[in-house]
Amino acid sequence: MNPDLVYLAQTETTAGFISQNADALSRIKNRPQGKSFLISVDSLATLRSFTRVAKAYKNRVRRASKTTFAYQCGLAIRVVKDEAHLQFLKKLKWSYSTSSNPSGKGFNEAFAEEKADVIVYTQKGFFEDKPSSIYKLGKVKMRKLR
């Protein structure tokens, strides 16, 4: 798999653009260059290569599903548990992930298929589900962002 290509795939919660190339994702979504993307990782070992998880939060991070954690280093990372998405993600180890819709708008399959370099079809097809929860992990306490 080429990490520079933009893939359209069904993630845990929505149809999304997946790539290790943040610039390509920014161009597709017409986002400002400084705005960061969520990072999806295939395992806790890969998570440890990005950041340290404070001892107080280790169990919560390990057990959480469909949950993204914003760490003090400024990264927002989700450990993927969904088997179908995990099977795809294991080939890349990690990737930037964003919804496959124009910024500020709902899912549009025609837009998504036009902008992606590679389309990954599954038996489920593409759908939008409830968005993932996002928690900011602080030194002392955790705060729910979404």
Architecture of domain 7-144: Alpha-Beta Complex (3.90)
Q: Specify the pLDDT at position 69.
A: 95
Establish how many alpha carbons lie within 13 A of residue 41's alpha carbon, considering only the half-sphere containing its beta carbon: 19
Position 103, amino acid = S
Q: Which whole number is the average pLDDT over 83-90?
A: 86
HEC readout, the chain: CCCCCCEEEECCCCEEEEECCHHHHHHHHCCCCCCCCEEEECCHHHHHHHCCCCHHHHHHHHHCCCEEEECCCCCEEEECCCHHHHHHHCCCCEEEEEECCCCCCCCCHHHHHHHCCEECCCCCCCCCCCCCEEEEECCCCEEECC
- Residue 51 CB neighbours (<10 A): 16
Q: How confident is the model at residue 30 (pLDDT cuts 50, 70, 90)?
A: confident
Radius of gyration of the chain (CA): 15
Beta-carbon contacts of 23 under 8 Å, excluding residues fewer than 6 positions away, are: 33
Q: What angle do CA 34, 4, 8 make, to 5 degrees?
A: 90
Q: What is the pTM of this model?
A: 0.86
Structural domain boundaries of the chain? 7-144
Q: Specify the pLDDT at position 16.
A: 85
Kindly tell me if the per-residue pLDDT of 137 is higher than 80. yes
- Measured distance CA(128)–CA(27) in Å, rounded: 22
